[in-house]
């Protein structure tokens, strides 16, 4: 049984390698030996030994989070009900906050509940518009996280009090933004558009549910929206770390990310669930929102970037680099075989035979 599982895994990896673009990682220094203790130990040791740098980089990245954070704070501080009154130019009493107190006679509760979903469309639009700005800052975090995980040196300055060199994380962060902001902005923009469209379909389904106008098409659209959002997220967690870890053409990054998302869906799903837990807590109430924002403002985004880069580096070390070494060795063997192959002797032509005829 175990041998069959190993054969299936080997066959899956063989099919995967055929479609991957095999290149070295975009390291600035020679690669270090494999980390003793395994991948999880490397992640937590990197996190523990670079906590101050990750904290500082996370604070600097908040320059790019401000637009997204402003959208979330406005929505959750005002609430969907109050935003609806502002959009409709309505006055209190609040029609739903007191279980219907203040409703006029003959008002359809379903229509009001459906109208209550309208502010969520504006929330989705706000998130979609601000995600590309966040993607620009996240590219800087990916650059710093990759250097930490690979054990590369940073730009440093001498500290008079501590009497040793300290990394200049601000300069390194903005260097990463300068190098990779285009792809970070593009990937987050496309991701936001797709997820925003899926979320809009879900909101529309809830509206139709309140209005009691659901049909087969609405259920079909709901299923498609959920599946598309899930697949896009699995694809995205494999794609976004490639922004700073590889130097290759855009289509090759998309192809590699797609191959990994389809070949390792369980691992990708585990990462997605782990990343979404804080945002699920945010929707539990004001306390959850404040707690999540506090954690994210301290080290959350740096932690996310280090986690994604660590997973991408694991795939590189376990699949891409061995396949690349094997392909290089195979090419080298073929060249040696061609060099050792004896050159064929030329057979004389008819004209050459005539030169050697005996004279009569």
Q: What is the pLDDT of residues 313-355, one digit of tens each?
A: 999 888 888 888 887 776 777 777 777 655 555 555 555 545 5
Helix or strand or coil: residue 240?
Answer: coil
Burial label for 328, CB within 10 Å (0-12, 13-18, 19+), is exposed
Evaluate whether 128 touches 193 at the Cβ level (below 8 Å).
yes
Q: Please tell me the predicted confidence (pLDDT) of residue 225.
A: 94
Tell me whether residue 7 is in a domain: no
Query: What pTM value is reported for the model?
Result: 0.82
Instruction: Kindly state the DSSP code that residue 164 receives in the 8-state scheme.
Output: E
Q: Report angle CA 11, 17, 23 to the nearest 5 degrees.
A: 160
Q: Please tell me the predicted confidence (pLDDT) of residue 344.
A: 59
Helix axes 216-239, 169-211, angle to 10 degrees: 170
Range of the domain at 154: 37-339
**Which H or E run contains 159?**
strand 156-159
Tell me whether residue 11 is in a domain: no
Tell me whether residue 320 is in a domain: yes
Tell me whether residue 129 is in a domain: yes
Hey, which residues does 159 pair with through a beta bridge?
164
Distance, in Å, from the CA atom of 292 to the CA atom of 289, rounded to the nearest integer, reads: 5
Tell me whether residue 26 is in a domain: no
Helix axes 250-263, 2-19, angle to 10 degrees: 170
Distance, in Å, from the CA atom of 121 to the CA atom of 206, rounded to the nearest integer, reads: 12
Q: Please tell me the predicted confidence (pLDDT) of residue 12.
A: 62
Burial label for 322, CB within 10 Å (0-12, 13-18, 19+), is middle
The residues near 319 (Cβ < 8 Å, ≥ 6 apart) are 13, 16, 17, 20
Domains in the chain, number = 1
Tell me whether residue 8 is in a domain: no
Tell me whether residue 319 is in a domain: yes
Q: Is the dihedral of CA 101, 105, 108, 111 positive or negative?
A: negative
- Give the residue ranges of the chain where pLDDT is below 70: 1-14, 89-108, 158-164, 285-286, 330, 340-360
Tell me whether residue 1 is in a domain: no
User: CA 118: distance to chain centroid?
Assistant: 29
**Which two structure tokens, joined as six digits, stand for 317?**
């070390």
């Amino acid at each position: 049984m175990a041998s069959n599982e190993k054969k299936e895994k080997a066959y899956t990896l063989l099919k995967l390698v055929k479609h991957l673009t095999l290149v070295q990682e975009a390291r600035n220094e020679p690669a270090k030996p494999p980390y003793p203790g395994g991948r999880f130990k490397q992640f937590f040791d990197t996190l523990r030994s670079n906590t101050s740098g990750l904290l500082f980089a996370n604070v600097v990245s908040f320059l790019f989070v401000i637009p997204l954070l402003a959208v979330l704070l406005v929505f959750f501080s005002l609430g969907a009900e109050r935003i609806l009154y502002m959009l409709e130019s309505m006055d209190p009493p609040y029609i739903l906050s007191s279980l219907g107190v203040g409703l006029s006679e003959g008002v359809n509760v379903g229509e009001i509940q459906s109208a209550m979903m309208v502010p969520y469309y504006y929330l989705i639009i706000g998130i979609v518009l601000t995600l590309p700005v966040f993607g620009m800052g996240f590219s800087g975090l990916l650059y710093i996280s990759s250097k930490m995980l690979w054990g590369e040196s940073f730009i440093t300055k001498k500290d008079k009090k501590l009497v040793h060199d300290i990394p200049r994380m601000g300069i390194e962060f903005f260097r990463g933004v300068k190098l990779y902001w285009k792809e970070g902005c593009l990937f987050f923009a496309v991701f936001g558009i797709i997820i925003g469209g899926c979320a809009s379909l879900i909101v529309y389904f809830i509206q139709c549910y309140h209005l009691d106008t659901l049909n087969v098409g609405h259920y079909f659209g709901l299923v498609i929206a959920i599946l598309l959002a899930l697949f896009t997220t699995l694809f995205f967690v494999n794609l976004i770390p490639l922004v700073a870890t590889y130097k290759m053409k855009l289509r090759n990054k998309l192809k590699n990310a797609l191959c990994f998302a389809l070949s390792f869906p369980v691992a990708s799903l585990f990462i997605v669930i782990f990343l979404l837990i804080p945002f699920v807590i945010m929707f539990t109430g004001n306390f959850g929102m404040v707690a999540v924002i506090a954690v994210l403002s301290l080290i959350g985004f740096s932690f996310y970037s280090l986690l994604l880069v660590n997973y991408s580096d694991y795939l590189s070390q376990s699949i891409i680099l061995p396949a690349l070494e094997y392909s290089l060795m195979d090419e080298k063997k073929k060249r040696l075989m061609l060099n050792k192959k004896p050159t064929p002797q030329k057979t004389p032509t008819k004209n050459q035979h005539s030169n050697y005829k005996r004279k009569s």
